Amino acid sequence: MWYACFSCVVEPEPLPANDKAVGLDVGLYSFVTRSDGRGIANPRLFRKAQRRLRRAQRRVARREKFSKGWKKAVRLVAKIHRKVFNQRNDFQHKLTRKIVNNYGIIFVEDLNVKGLSRGLFAKSVHDAGWAAFFQKLSYKAASAGRWFLPVDARGTSQRCPCGAPNLKRLSDREHVCVSCGLVATRDHASAMEILRLGLSLQPLTAVQ
């Protein structure tokens, strides 16, 4: 099987002006939660393929190395990985296009994805593919004439958008603020705080 890859330089295609701003919180429960409260479910594509992948890997282990059956089993493992990769790419391309089409100013957390991918939830972080998602969002926003800005990720889940501290454990999924009365999911409150942080950087991020 042969593949051809083409790299093209194309002119940007700005979309009509749009001053709507959004904060995006990425997570493992919901893939993305917007500051308006809308959540996009995490497809967990690798986890869904794990059972099939384990069977294929056991088949590789049982075959004599470099035999015809071994090579066929190795190709099957590669095919499963390729399908997961393509599904993740398709999901992220569609989602980033929708976000860029609907918002003129997009704020996300400036996450150390590489560091997170070596932690306790490494497999889930790899499955989510946040780095690739941010990359797609960044270049599509640039091509469409949108503003894309990562903001400081420190404390976004430990503050209320009103500015009051709101400490939570990782297992706490609800945000309740005694200062302003806001009750929301943890991810929604974080997305609102990301939006607040981004807008606080105005006029640097204002659409001209």
pLDDT at 152: 94
127 is catalytic: no
What mean pLDDT is reported for the chain?
92
Chain segment 183-203, per-residue pLDDT in tens:
999 999 999 999 999 999 865
pLDDT tens by residue, 45-95: 999 999 999 999 999 999 999 999 999 999 999 999 999 999 999 999 999
Which is higher by pLDDT, 142 or 120?
A: 142
pLDDT for res 100: 97
Is the pLDDT score of 173 beyond 60?
yes
Let me know if residue 90 belongs to a domain. yes
Residue 136 lies in a domain: yes
Q: What is the pLDDT of residue 208?
A: 40
pLDDT at position 8: 81
Judge whether 110 lies within some domain: yes
Residue 1 above 70 pLDDT? no
How many Cβ atoms from other residues are within 10 Å of residue 28's Cβ? 14
Q: Is the pLDDT of residue 206 over 60?
A: no
Q: Provide the percentage of residues in the chain whose pLDDT is more than 70.
A: 96
Judging by DSSP bridges, how do beta strands 147-151 and 105-109 pair with one another? parallel
Q: Higher-confidence residue: 118 or 167?
A: 167
**What span, in angstroms and rounded, lies between the C-alpha atoms of 80 and 49?**
7
- Write down the catalytic residue from 11, 90, 187, 193: 187
Which of 13, 36, 64, 109 is labelled catalytic? Answer: 109
Q: Per-residue pLDDT averaged across 21-34, rounded? A: 96
* Residue at 124 is within a domain: yes
Residue range of the domain that includes 132: 21-199
Q: Quick check: is 43 in a domain?
A: yes
Edge-first strand listing for the sheet containing 21-26:
39-41, 30-34, 21-26, 105-109, 147-151
* Residue 102, domain member (yes or no): yes
Q: Look at the chain and report how many structural domains it folds into.
A: 1
Q: Is residue 85 part of a domain?
A: yes
Q: Which of 13, 25, 64, 152 is catalytic?
A: 25
Task: Give the three-class secondary structure for 34.
Answer: strand
Length of the chain (residues): 208
Q: Active-site residue 174, yes or no?
A: no
pTM: 0.88
Nearest to 146 by CA among 105, 88, 189: 105
pLDDT in tens, 136-171: 999 999 999 999 999 999 999 999 999 999 999 989
In-domain check, residue 7: no
pLDDT at 134 over 80: yes
Active site annotation includes 172: no
